[in-house]
Chain A
Amino acid sequence: MSTAELTITQASSAIASGALSAEDLTTECLARIRARDPELNAVIALDADAALERARICDRQRAGGLLNGLPLGYKDMFHRLGEISTYGGPEHHWHLAQDTSPIIGALEAAGGIFCARLNMAEFAMGPTGHNPTFGRCRNPHDPVRITGGSSSGSAAAIAAGYVLGALGSDTGGSVRLPAAMCGVAGLKPTQHRLPVAGMMALSASLDCPGVMAHTSRDVAVLWEAITGTAPAIDADGPPLTIGIPRGYYLDGLDPDVSSAFQATLSCFERAGAQVIEIAIPDQTNLPHLADILWKSEAAALHRLKLAPGPAQLGAQARARLAQGLGVQATDYVDAMKMRVVALRRMLSGPLSAADVFISPTVPVMTPLAEEASANAGDKMRLTLERLSHATRPISALGLPALSVPMGRDRNAMPMGLQIVGRPNSENVLLRAGAMLEDALGH
């Protein structure tokens, strides 16, 4: 098997047994980056020499941590002491880190080797993978199609075999969307579960660091390295109850997405889960509610980047920030309270009847880059609304969600299944994700 297809679990075993050296694995990952990234553009900066040096150290200390000798990457908005974080923006805004994200610190302490800073939407504002400063990140499954965003490079780098795991951030779907469109697993944890220190701030209410890898089991290993708690994915327990929501989350699905989603239901049933229909409270206004929160907070932080000059952001980021300038304080305060009402209704309704509920992560097939506008205007707004239809309400509610691959569409592009659970139920989501992956043979 090529090391490009190795999961974290497989690579860890191979390194621990001596069948594979961390140096060889890292060398092969770096070679893939050099060979393919001129086309894919997933990497903003590569730290090859330091990565190889760390790999040699890992080989000398073979009994290392959970991630001993495994190449990783991070969205270029996390901080690592003494290094630049570009935030996906123009040079005027590059940040020389004075601290290290505790999440990066935990993954390094477990033996992970961060070898690449990865492409992203400008200031994490954009669902398509376009970037006016660094250029568009291209989908490894078909470079003329979008990767999804804003953690575009993180998902593309895993799918292309550059790294075995990566960090992203998710304010409205930015881990789940690229995970779905690039065919990898991506976890947005419960709001405020992971620290946001050492990470570019966009929205204090909605920012959420997330992890991505080939499979749910790999995400579980990263989760254990970060939190110190191992999700009990394969433990015996009562059968999972999987809720199928009526209404909002299944509205407007492309036929291929709908077929793949229906096929997952029988996979879960064959795996022993109980699949039930559940009623969901009206979610129609939740995406806009989330917008009120994050756009106000983002405008407060980044409003000076709107004015013409070297510090000015691109059209898409500007259009979204400018809207935050005009949100009334009374609306912002009420939106914070409406979020509580909506969460209460979700917890006492559908999420009391089922352990998780599922929907397609993205209701449409992955579009061509030329069809998905990165500019301002109504076309951008409609693109954003369509792609993030199922992810933004979950961000507004602060619930954890996992996106896992659920097959390919007629263009051979991956599609994703979103699994949503109660607060702090990441272990349940990962168990359900692994159940589906086993059934689909991933």
Chain B
Amino acid sequence: MAQNEIAAEGDVTQLTLCQYAYGFTPKPDERARFAAEFGRTCEMMARLRDDMPELEQVSAQEFMELVRGREPSQ
């Protein structure tokens, strides 16, 4: 999906969220910033998933073990 399509998707998503879930309409500049951020996030997550093939084998709970001092498994 092209960057502008991703951004447009983000724009619609936030407008829908705010109007229907929270009862207000965001200003145009807020929507534009949100859309840009949404696009950046989609791109970054795609890059990181490619860069982290071990992601499938990771549990989020391991974070607590690591910060408590457990050595990382390879």
Chain A residues engaging chain B, CB cutoff 8 angstroms: 190-193, 282, 285, 288-289, 292, 303-304, 306-308, 318-319, 322-323, 325-327, 331, 333-341, 343-344, 347-348, 376-378, 381, 398, 423-424
For A191, A288, A323, A424, the residue with the greatest tally of chain B CB atoms inside 10 Å of its CB is: A323
Q: Which residue of A lies closest to B35 (CB)?
A: A326
Among candidates A318, A338, A423, residue contacting B55 with C-beta atoms closer than 8 Å: A338
For A190, A303, A322, A339, the residue with the greatest tally of chain B CB atoms inside 10 Å of its CB is: A322
1/0 contact trace for B37-74 toward A, CB 8 Å? 11011001101110110110011101110111101111
Chain B residues, Cβ within 8 Å of A327: 41
A343, B24: Cβ atoms closer than 8 Å: no
Among candidates B26, B55, B62, B73, residue contacting A322 with C-beta atoms closer than 8 Å: B26
A340, B22: Cβ atoms closer than 8 Å: no
B33, A377: Cβ atoms closer than 8 Å: yes
A423, B18: Cβ atoms closer than 8 Å: no
Chain A residues, Cβ within 8 Å of B29: 376-377
Chain A residues, Cβ within 8 Å of B37: 323, 326
Chain A residues, Cβ within 8 Å of B48: 285, 289, 334, 338
CA distance A423 to B70 in the complex (A): 9
B22, A344: Cβ atoms closer than 8 Å: no
CA distance A325 to B72 in the complex (A): 33
Chain A residues, Cβ within 8 Å of B63: 336, 339-340, 343, 398
B22, A303: Cβ atoms closer than 8 Å: yes
Q: Which residue of A lies closest to B61 (CB)?
A: A340
Q: Report A209 CB to chain B, min CB distance, Å.
A: 15
Chain B residues, Cβ within 8 Å of A348: 72, 74
Q: Which residue of A lies closest to B10 (CB)?
A: A326
Q: Which residue of A lies closest to B38 (CB)?
A: A326
CA distance A377 to B52 in the complex (A): 31
CA distance A292 to B37 in the complex (A): 10
Chain A residues, Cβ within 8 Å of B24: 306-308
Q: Report B53 CB to chain A, min CB distance, Å.
A: 10
Given A338-B55, A344-B72, A325-B14 contact (CB < 8 Å) = yes
B52, A341: Cβ atoms closer than 8 Å: yes
Q: Report B36 CB to chain A, min CB distance, Å.
A: 8
B23, A326: Cβ atoms closer than 8 Å: no
Chain B residues, Cβ within 8 Å of A378: 33
A423, B38: Cβ atoms closer than 8 Å: no
CA distance A347 to B51 in the complex (A): 18
Chain B residues, Cβ within 8 Å of A282: 51
CA distance A155 to B23 in the complex (A): 39
Chain B residues, Cβ within 8 Å of A335: 45
Q: What are 20 A-B pairs with beta-carbon distances under 8 A? A: A192-B68, A285-B48, A289-B44, A292-B41, A307-B24, A322-B34, A323-B33, A323-B38, A326-B17, A331-B41, A331-B45, A334-B45, A334-B49, A335-B45, A337-B60, A340-B60, A341-B52, A341-B55, A344-B66, A398-B67
